A and B are shown apart, each in its own frame.
Chain A
Amino acid sequence: MGSITLKQVAKRFGDTEVIPPLNLTIEDGEFVVFVGPSGCGKSTLLRLIAGLEDVSDGVIEIDGNDATSLPPAKRGLAMVFQSYALYPHMTVRKNIAFPLKMAGLDQATIDAKVNGAAATLNLADYIDRRPGQLSGGQRQRVAIGRAIVREPSAFLFDEPLSNLDAALRGNMRLEISELHQTLATTMIYVTHDQVEAMTMADKIVVLRAGHIEQVGSPLDLYREPANLFVAGFIGSPSMNIISGPAAEAYGAPTIGVRPEHMDLSHEGGAWRGVVGVSEHLGSDTFLRVDVEGVGTLTARAGGEFPARHGDTVGLTPDPERLHRFDANGLRIAG
């Protein structure tokens, strides 16, 4: 009831090709996250699926039917916008009821559905207020409410949490994940935040300049990044990329080691360097270590690891969890 297939879909604005032909299959009920740096075409891709932009080439299929030339309203998708796009002159109730009213449902059905959505999203307390009187998180909920009353075959989220503060973002992330568990509807979520991607997704699509760099589950991408771009993008803090003689010692032109896959010691170690900055988070300690001939590496230690600016420490990468890349930045298997 919500599978989406893109076949050779391309988008050009004049002469500039924003999205070169790409293929992608989204299964029914999946939570798919499009992630990439800003300007990578992830929002454009979402808008192509929504029907807000016309595809220049290729076919979009929704539930096996060609939807390439269908108008947005006929695709059975609902979208939550970055700016929420609530209607400022309507109350929360009217905002949520709007798609139902447009669909021509009778008032009793509309009321029942709006009340149902309000209950699901805890909107009942401010159902008669206008968007201007709500906080960012509340507006976000209303936008989601407006999307769920339509019972779409898939939800599209365009960076929905980027206007919220850090604490609220964490909460809303959980709420959206829970909503996905409850509704079991396909969701496509666009973000530039790899934490959101890792925590919410069933499947992550990493995009760069319109190209799909890798598709996979969060842990697949974490364990086996297909190339240097994905390796550097997924994981926080990001992976240490080392090239030159230090990498050749491990049998590859470039190697990558995640901060959490390095052993820290005061004595010995494969690389020895001076601590530049140490960030004590309580649960973890992140050290920025300057290693001569290798570069500045980030390493994670336990929360109690005693290290200060200027200390000399030893770093030893875990050989099992070392990533090797060839001269083109592609992963060397094994």
Chain B
Amino acid sequence: MSTTHSRTAGKAMISPAVILLFLWMIVPLVMTLYFSFQFYNLLDPVTSFAGFANYEYFLTDPAFFEALGNTLIIVIGVLCITVIGGTLLALLLDQPMFGQGIVRLLFIAPFFVMPTVSALVWKNMFMNPTNGLFAFLSKLVGTTPIDWLGHHPLASIVMIVSWQWLPFATLILLTAMQSLDSEQIEAAEMDGASALSRFFHIIVPHLARAGTVVILIQTIFLLSIFAEILVTTAGGPGYASTNIPYLVYMQSLLQFDVGGGSAGGIVAVILANIVAIFLMRLVGKNLDL
């Protein structure tokens, strides 16, 4: 790709793909924008221009602030659990042991389970207050079983989602850990660093870049957690486990208010961008070390 001619040819050849991707992105976005300025309810075929009424309605809804808070709690909670837990597990899996290959394969398994399936398994087999495994364990030691989804809905969601994403974080951090030059650890050992100092002064800085990738990718997916909420708590009780995507869903598909839902969607896009900018400022510098 050095001459002007080949550069032009190159641009011409990638343009169909770029145009397709662009349309793929812009058509739904423009349609959503258009709907967000319309009074458009599926029960009422007549649509009319609404101005900012849909936005006003969505942003002044008390449920919106609760959902915003819940979204942030899910994202931050899951990130903390997966990054810290993933680092520790990676440290453990990095040790030579019998059946290493099988153990690593088993470890990644939760990531391949569909979100709806894993959430249902958690809901019915673990967290169910009468038949669940946790209830059984509680009864075994003589305490009252906890109604996880009823009393701690958000914590339960964070737990389920963390279980799904922990393998991802562990795997990325484990590969990063394996790329650490063993001579660096040995040098630190000779320099008198204890195991704890070696971890904090050598291993953690080495993991910074991989950790950044984990945080960025997970944030994108965690902002839009939906299936786990739908099949476990359905956003309840009340709005206790409703996040922004679930609120948009309720607005547009349970209340048939496409206009309000679209406005919520645009708000969610803007919020995601704010989070992205904030994150890039915060951890993005690790990427071009």
Contacts and interface: CB of A to CB of B under 8 A. Distances in A.
Interface residues of B, number: 19
A103 B192 contact: yes
B193 A85 contact: no
A167 B100 CA distance: 46
A87 B184 contact: yes
A98 B191 contact: yes
Nearest to A146: B191
Interface string B191-226: 111100100011001101000000000000000000
A326 B289 CA distance: 61
Given A81-B186, A98-B201, A89 B206 contact: yes
B189 A73 contact: yes
Contacts of B289: 89
B183 A78 contact: no
B192 A79 contact: no
Contact of B192 (A50, A87, A88, A99): A99
A92 to B, nearest CB: 15
B229 to A, nearest CB: 39
B189 A102 contact: no
Contacts of A98: 188, 191, 193, 201
Contacts of B208: 89
Q: Is the interface of A mostly helix, strand, loop or mixed?
A: loop
Contacts of B186: 52, 72, 79, 81, 85
B183 A83 contact: yes
Interface in A41-62: 50, 52
Contacts of B193: 73, 98, 102
Contact of B191 (A73, A82, A83): A73
B183 A85 contact: yes
Size bracket, chain A contacts: 20 to 34
Nearest to A89: B205
A146 B189 CA distance: 13
A280 to B, nearest CB: 42
Contacts of B61: none
Nearest to A132: B289
B18 interface: no
Given A87-B184, A89-B208, A102-B197, A79 B202 contact: no
Contact of A73 (B190, B201, B202, B206): B190
Given A85-B183, A89-B205, A89-B208, A72 B190 contact: yes
A72 B189 contact: yes
A186 to B, nearest CB: 16
A86 B192 CA distance: 15
A146 B188 CA distance: 11
A262 interface: no
A58 to B, nearest CB: 21
B44 interface: no
Contact of A87 (B189, B190, B194, B202): B202
A148 interface: no
A85 B187 contact: yes
A9 interface: no
A15 to B, nearest CB: 18
Contacts of A103: 192
B190 A78 contact: yes
Contacts of B191: 73, 98-99, 102, 146, 150
Contacts of B197: 102
A272 to B, nearest CB: 53
The 5 closest A-B pairs by CB, nearest first: A99-B191, A73-B192, A85-B187, A85-B183, A89-B205
6 contacts: A52-B190, A72-B186, A78-B190, A89-B206, A99-B191, A102-B197
Interface of B: 181, 183-184, 186-194, 197, 201-202, 205-206, 208, 289
Given A73-B189, A102-B194, 19 more contacts: A52-B189, A71-B189, A79-B186, A79-B190, A81-B183, A81-B187, A83-B183, A85-B183, A86-B184, A87-B184, A87-B202, A88-B206, A89-B289, A98-B201, A99-B192, A102-B188, A102-B191, A102-B193, A102-B197
